[in-house]
Amino acid sequence: MSKSNRRTFLLDFEKPLCELESRIEQIRELATENQVDVSDQIQHLEEKAVQLRKEIFSTLTPAQRLQLARHPRRPSTLDYIQAMSEEWFELHGDRAGDDDPALVGGIARLNGRPVMMLGHQKGRDTKDNVARNFGMASPSGYRKAMRLMEHANHFRMPICTFIDTPGAWAGVEAEKTGQGEAIAYNLRQMFSLDVPILCTVIGEGGSGGALGIGVGDRILMLEHAVYTVATPEACAAILWKDSGKSEQACEALKITAWDLKDLGILDQILSEPVRGAHADPITAANFLKEALISNLDELMQLSPQQRKEQRYQKFRNIGKFTDLAANGQLQLPSENETNGKSYHHIEEETSSSHFLSY
Tell me the β-bridge partners of 108: 88, 115
Once rounded to an integer, what is the mean pLDDT over residues 232-249?
Answer: 90
How many residues can be counted in the chain? 358
Tell me the β-bridge partners of 197: 159
Cα–Cα dist 16/20, whole Å: 6
For residue range 174-230, list pLDDT tens digits in order: 999 999 999 999 999 999 999 999 999 999 999 899 999 999 999 999 999 999 998
For residues 174 and 51, membership in a common domain is answered with no
For 232, the enclosing helix (H) or strand (E) is helix 232-239
Q: Would you state the pLDDT for residue 339?
A: 52
- Largest CA-CA distance found in the chain, in angstroms, rounded: 90
Instruction: Report the chain's C-alpha Rg in angstroms.
Output: 24
Cα–Cα dist 197/292, whole Å: 10
Q: What's the pTM value of the predicted model, to 2 decimals? A: 0.82
Secondary structure of 290-330 in HEC code, one letter for each residue = HHHHHHHHHHCCCCHHHHHHHHHHHHHCCCCEECCCCCCCC
- Name which of 244, 14, 174, 299 is nearest 1 in CA terms: 14
If phi over 0 gives left and psi between -120 and 50 gives alpha, with beta otherwise, what is residue 73? Answer: alpha
Q: Would you state the pLDDT for residue 353?
A: 36
For residues 166 and 121, membership in a common domain is answered with yes
For residues 266 and 280, membership in a common domain is answered with yes
For residues 84 and 51, membership in a common domain is answered with no
For residues 216 and 353, membership in a common domain is answered with no
For residues 49 and 72, membership in a common domain is answered with no
For residues 266 and 347, membership in a common domain is answered with no
Where residue 345 falls among pLDDT bands split at 50, 70, 90? very low
For residue range 3-31, list pLDDT tens digits in order: 545 555 778 777 777 877 788 788 777 77
For residues 186 and 81, membership in a common domain is answered with yes
- pLDDT above 90: residue 275: no
Q: Which domain holds residue 176?
A: 67-316
Question: Do the strands 268-270 and 218-222 form a parallel or antiparallel pair, or are they unpaired?
Answer: parallel
For residues 26 and 134, membership in a common domain is answered with no
Give the CATH number for residue 80.
3.90.226.10
For residues 245 and 296, membership in a common domain is answered with yes
How is residue 271 annotated by DSSP?
P
Domain count for the chain, please give it: 3
Q: What share of the chain is helix, strand, coil (3-state, %, to 5)?
A: 50, 15, 35
Tell me the β-bridge partners of 321: 356
Residue 234 backbone dihedrals phi, psi, to 5 degrees: -65, -40
- Dihedral angle computed from the Cα positions of residues 94, 150, 80 and 89, in that order, rounded to the nearest 10 degrees: -70
Mean predicted lDDT score pLDDT of the chain: 86
Helix runs in 36-103, H state only: 39-58, 62-69, 77-84
Decide if 235 contacts 255 (C-beta within 8 A): no
For residues 114 and 250, membership in a common domain is answered with yes
For residue range 93-122, list pLDDT tens digits in order: 999 989 999 999 999 999 999 999 999 999
Exposed e or buried b for every residue in 188-201, given b needs 16+ CB within 10 A?
Answer: eebeebebbbbbbb
For residues 35 and 181, membership in a common domain is answered with no
Decide if 102 contacts 137 (C-beta within 8 A): yes
* DSSP helix/strand/coil, 109: strand
- pLDDT above 50: residue 357: no
Q: Does the CA dihedral 110-115-116-120 come out positive or negative?
A: negative
Task: Report how far apart, in Å, the C-alpha atoms of 214 and of each of 107, 146, 205, 208 are.
Answer: 18, 12, 9, 9
Where residue 140 falls among pLDDT bands split at 50, 70, 90? very high
Q: Would you state the pLDDT for residue 26?
A: 80
